[in-house]
Structure 1
């Protein structure tokens, strides 16, 4: 069970040049209410998770990231301000990745071990940048149900991919935009995720879930997260693992040597 949260908060409107106080307040719900509610649920079920955080989210609410780290959860890269990699020039993508890693290192004291690209948008430069940063894994692509090694132009990279999927993401079911109509009730989504988990457990494989504090943190949606965690917790033989732990486990099976941190990350240079 690889549970993850993308802590987008205000970067969700900012990255789209939206400065309306109403939209910003809607996104700030994630830091103000959603994240504390999620942290309580995870503690209740003794479940560890991975939190992917844009650097700007860290700068806006550093105390929230401190609380996440204090509970033993992993914190990974999620861009600078939730930008799309495909919209960036080569130098821009690399610069923002390095700046983001420096911010994460400054506020956590640890080098990031993995990343999730904003919007799950990956350019031809993204994997080389991940290797340059010394990352063990990425969690942005969808080529399998199970973790696999990413290739770059046919060559092994040593980067483990922990695949995501829209069916295991809360955002498509519960859109922020009122014009994008919510088509399923929370309990219908709960059933989909239960079925996905049951399938993964039957295969002895991975159940990975991507959630957002400003989305899943609403009361009726937090309720189904509680029920899902209780359902999973009641099944024997389930390992609640961070994405880093999944990457290490996969790497050991594939003969991958963990990446070495780059000088950029080791130096702890600030943004």
Structure 2
């Protein structure tokens, strides 16, 4: 009786022990499996995270490179614009300098022209005693009309032609009887010009000035005529070194030396 019970008990205990060991083994297997699964999931997550990180890094590097290219292009455009502006300024400055030089040269040319004109005007401050004429009897010409050689230059003009002062000066003789030089001159005028130079106008039909009057170059002083010892209407013109007869010099040569075309 006791042996049977013991044997039964032992068998039961053995079964329970085996069941416990089996359960423990099963539990260990389940736990181990779960661990393996967790390990697999962690590795996969790490791989995904690494791939994402690499992609983000690549994108960041690409963005950085693109930004660098954009900056480089912007810097190049800025430099090109600056060069273009500098070139434009240089061209504008060069144009301005050229214009200033041209203006200075033009001003210089105008000044030079005015100087020449002033010099010419100063030199040609003498004029013909009449504006339109024909040359007739000349200085020192021989002829029966004069007691000696001809003392002046005759300008053939109609009676009433305006007679002009060949140069500015002061009237020292005016009137009939050759203004004191004799009846052969008819009505006459003598003007003092300075530097021992005098001009005489004779055979006048009328006299428009009086002794002491100051006249200017080209001013009308009389009208031509045919008075005195004259064979026809004309103006007798002399250049003298004194106001009186006998001091005459070649009037045409004198006038030409002053720039007058006779």
TM-score range, shorter chain: under 0.3
* Greater C-alpha radius of gyration: 2
**Higher strand proportion (structure 1 or 2):** 2
Which gives a bigger RCO, structure 1 or 2 (Cα 8 Å, sep 6+)? 1
If the length of structure 2 is used for normalisation, what is the TM-score?
0.20
